[in-house]
Each structure stands twice: as C-alpha cells, then as structure tokens.
Structure 1
Amino acid sequence: MTTVANPDTGRALDHPAREQIRVEAVLQALADPIRLRIVREIADRGELPCGVLDLPVSKSTCTHHYRVLRESGVIHQRCVGTSRMNTLRKEDLDALFPGLMDGVLAAPRD
C-alpha cells in the first residue's frame, strides 16, 4: 500500500500501487452488487463524491464499500474539503488485466 496525503487537508488514504493490485482482490470487490453499482456509476459519470449515490445501505456500510474498492485498487479517492472524490483506476486495471473492466462495465445491468 502507498499512502497518499492530501496537501490541503493532510488526511492520508491508503491505495495499492499499480504493481500491488491483485486480480483476486479486484474480483472480490466487484462481486458485491453495491460495489459494482458504485463502480458503474463512477465509470458513467466520472469523478463522484461519496454520498452522492442513493444506495440502499447505511452510511457506515457505504463507507465500507468505498474502502474495499479503494484498498483493492479499483478506485482512487482524494479528499476535497470534507468530501472524498472517487475515480475509477481504469488505466491501471486495463494495464494489469486487459479487457476485464470493459467486460464488467459492458455486462447487462438489472
């Protein structure tokens, strides 16, 4: 894990470096329907703050889902004021696992 400190807030978040991302962790993170929905929304809309999506879970559970996605290497989070902005690490994932995210994002949605 690499820790990235936000120069504005000083808050640090752990993100795996590209070479530390493992397919097992990515697949496990994407296997949960809530996390898959989060990833699809970020892919569709671009950078999103936590809390903007209307998810059928509590705030603490939502925080857990974002943490799993960040620690598995699926998303990157950065602190902006009191918010965490989320982006998909598609470039890193495509370099490591060609076609995986394209297939995940193209799969039929419920």
Structure 2
Amino acid sequence: MSSTITRSLRPAYSTVNRSLIGIRAFSTSPWYSKGPIDVTKETLKKVDRTVSNAAVKGIEKGEKATEAIKRTVGSKSDRAAREAEEVAGQARQKTGEMASEAKEKAGDMASQAK
C-alpha cells in the first residue's frame, strides 16, 4: 500500500508550458503594424484637419473682407451724414432768414395799415 500512496503524490509526467519560453518569429516588420482600419482613421483625420484649416482660413478672409467693406462704407456714410448735416444747417439758416424777413414785411404792412 505504501507504493500506491507515493505514486499518487508524484506527478505522472512533467509538463513545460511552451508559451512561457521566449520564441521569436523571424520577421523584419515592426512589432506593431497598423491594420487597414487604423490607416484609414489616420488618413481621415489628416483630411479632416486639412479641410478644417482651409475652412478657418476662408472664414478669416471673409471676416477681413467684411471689415474692409464696413470701413469703406462706414467712411462714405459718415461723409454723407456730415454733408447732410451741413445742408440741413444751411436750410435752417435760410429758413430763419426768410422767417425774419417775413416778420419784418408783416410788421411794415401792419404799420402801413394803421
């Protein structure tokens, strides 16, 4: 009986886990190669960045053009407003002169009528 007990305590055979042993594959490619999905993602990111940069440049040019137009139109409208104010001032002056002349004539007529 003693022989059966010792046999059960010993492993029947020794196993070696071959996955733990360093096995190298013969290859010249890098350890991590990108698959088609990763390559496509990177390409799309590059395209997106290029399109975004172009859109930003276009928006900035549009803003500069808008500012230039505002300055041009603004200066012309300012000049037109000043000229309109001058004409209005001249018209007020003429109206005042004519009103004073009319009062004088009315006063002269009233004095002649008495």
TM-score range, shorter chain: under 0.3
TM-score norm. by structure 1 comes to: 0.17
TM-score calculated relative to the size of structure 2: 0.16
**Structure with the greater alpha carbon radius of gyration:** 2
